[in-house]
């Protein structure tokens, strides 16, 4: 009943049960009475751990990727794959378009990659990698 009557106390208890690892240590080693209410705890926690939050990217983020003229095509493909892997439920049509957008027009298989409607995204990677070595 004490917890029910004091919402901040209930929130502290719930909050403490979901923490793990370094965050749990941070919470338990806070100075006693350094936080007056749950709103203040939320603010302090957010300031402390905001940098740990990952920003969810969408498939169209891949259109921001640029192939550096100094970078080999294989290095670009590896970097592109790493960024694609970070996107949950990445749309393959958008991925293919973003990838093909940065291909050099003088690449041996440029036309086949651009015009190849039946070419999967994985096939595109393989074709470019195979002939870029």
Query: For the segment 40-80, what is each residue's pLDDT rounded down to a tens digit?
Result: 888 888 888 776 666 678 888 999 988 888 888 778 888 88
Domain ranges of the chain: 2-52, 59-130
Q: So what's the pLDDT on residue 42? A: 85
Length of the chain equals 133
DSSP class per residue in 80-111: HHHHHHTSTT--HHHHHHHHHHTS-TTSTTHH
pLDDT (0 to 100) of residue 2: 46
- pLDDT at site 1: 36
With 0-12 / 13-18 / 19 or more C-beta atoms within 10 angstroms meaning exposed / middle / buried, residue 27 is middle
Residue 116 has pLDDT above 60, yes or no: no
Residue 85 has pLDDT above 50, yes or no: yes
pTM over 0.75, yes/no:
no
């Amino acid at each position: 009943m004490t917890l029910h009557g004091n919402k901040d106390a209930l929130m502290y208890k719930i909050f403490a049960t979901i923490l793990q690892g370094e965050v749990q240590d941070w919470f338990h080693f806070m100075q006693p009475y350094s936080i007056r209410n749950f709103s203040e705890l939320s603010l302090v926690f957010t300031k402390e751990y905001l940098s740990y939050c990952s920003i969810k990217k969408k498939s169209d983020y891949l259109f921001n990727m640029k192939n550096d003229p100094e970078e080999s095509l294989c290095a670009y493909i590896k970097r592109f794959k790493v960024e694609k892997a970070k996107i949950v439920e990445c749309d393959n049509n958008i991925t293919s378009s973003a990838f093909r957008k940065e291909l050099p027009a003088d690449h041996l298989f440029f036309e086949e990659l651009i015009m190849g409607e039946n070419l999967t995204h994985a096939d595109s990677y393989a074709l470019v990698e195979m002939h870029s070595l």
